[in-house]
Amino acid sequence: MIRSFICIYHLFRLFIMGISFKYIENDTILVRKMTGKLKFETLYSSWLDLIMNRSIKPGIIGVVNDIRDAELLMEVADLKKLIELFEEHIDIFGKTKMAVLVSSYKNIVFPMMGDKLTSKLNIKPFSTFDAAVGWIKTK
């Protein structure tokens, strides 16, 4: 009963943040859709929620982060904090490809920089969903 309540609370909290997620490809890929003005604190908190609630479960080979309908309100220092979070949980993110769907030149900067800031993670920007999923599925 308590676990069900926590799951409902978690989904409601992400919904309020403008973030939704679902699993595709036989639950091997997590797709996160973000909309609206997305502050760093919200983005960071959403990743913490996924980690704490074990939403990136064993068998997940990749995460598609769709920020085409979002405006990222963050700085380079914020990106470094996000990279630190991923590296603290390298057991999860070290083997997981992270595709970022972008449509704005402003938003493409962050996944490109993220990929350059660390060699421990596999982050890449894409403009189409099919290309992102295809990349995640390649070995």
CA–chain centroid gap for 80, Å, is: 15
The pLDDT mean for the chain works out to 85
Residue type for 24, please? I
Average pLDDT over residues 1-29: 65
pLDDT in tens, 21-35: 899 999 999 999 999
Report whether pLDDT(11) > 50: no
How many folded domains does the chain comprise?
Answer: 1
Report whether pLDDT(8) > 80: no
- Beta bridge pairs of residue 34: 19
Domain that holds residue 115: 2-137
Give the pLDDT of residue 17.
56
Average pLDDT over residues 53-70: 91
CATH number (domain holding residue 99): 3.30.750.24
Report whether pLDDT(132) > 60: yes
